Amino acid sequence: MGVSGSGKSTIGPLLATALGVDFADADAFHPAANVAKMSRGQPLTDADRWPWLDAIGAWLDARGAAGGVVTCSALKRSYRDRLRAGRPAVRLLHLSGEAALIMARQAAREGHFMPPSLMASQFAALEPPAPEEGAITLSVAATPEAILAAALEALATG
Ligand SMILES: Nc1ncnc2c1ncn2[C@@H]1O[C@H](COP(=O)(O)OP(=O)(O)OP(=O)(O)O)[C@@H](O)[C@H]1O
Ligand SMILES: O=C(O)[C@H](O)[C@@H](O)[C@H](O)[C@H](O)CO
């Protein structure tokens, strides 16, 4: 989880490969209307996000006991609770860091539908995980390789 540009699509496949499980990117689960909306520079509403979150949950369910790695911004507590309902094995990893760094990376990225103008709304919507959510927080300031190593260590010890 994490705002746009936090590195979910970068770290997620590395983690899935290291764990030997399937990977999916949350962007693949957005209805076309959601992608069109974001491309126009309009933030998604909760109503836009519920079906998308449920599609991500269904992907996890289909993995069964083997599990999988799926990226999802999961910005609000209510979204994370929806993803976890009935799925007690779900682990959260939050790619977290300074807004300036994440926004600079997001703006420098090419070929993605998500416009930099939506970054303020991403940070406004973000509710960092509360302690009882048990999320693993990973600093985006590190290299992808270091983030992967930290994620694997936290998963193994947590
Ligand atoms: N740890 C890192 N160090 C340096 N650059 C990074 C790191 N993580 C990601 N990047 C770069 O930052 C940009 C944004 O990363 P990425 O596309 O993975 O974010 P994202 O969270 O998947 O975004 P979105 O939710 O919009 O799809 C990319 O150009 C990526 O190469
Ligand atoms: O909840 C949201 O607002 C969306 O998931 C966005 O975060 C984008 O899908 C993604 O970040 C762009 O790739």
The residue ranges of every structural domain in the chain are 8-157
Nearest CA to ligand 1 atom 24: 4
How far apart CA 63 and CA 52 sit, in angstroms, is 17
Euclidean distance between the first and final Cα of the chain, in Å? 17
What pTM was estimated for this model as a whole?
0.96
Query: What's the CATH class of domain 8-157?
Result: alpha beta
Interface predicted TM-score (ipTM) of this complex, two decimals: 0.95
Give the pLDDT of the chain (158 residues) as one tens digit per residue.
999 999 999 999 999 999 999 999 999 999 999 999 999 999 999 999 999 999 999 999 999 999 999 999 999 999 999 999 999 999 999 999 999 999 999 999 998 999 999 999 999 999 999 999 999 999 999 999 999 999 999 999 97
Our mutation pick for probing the ligand 1 site, out of 109, 112, 118, counting the most ligand atoms within 8 A of Cβ, is: 109
129 lines ligand 1 (CB under 6 A): no
Which ligand 2 atom sits nearest the alpha carbon of residue 30? 9
For tokens 């927080």, name the residue: 137
How far apart CA 122 and CA 60 sit, in angstroms, is 24
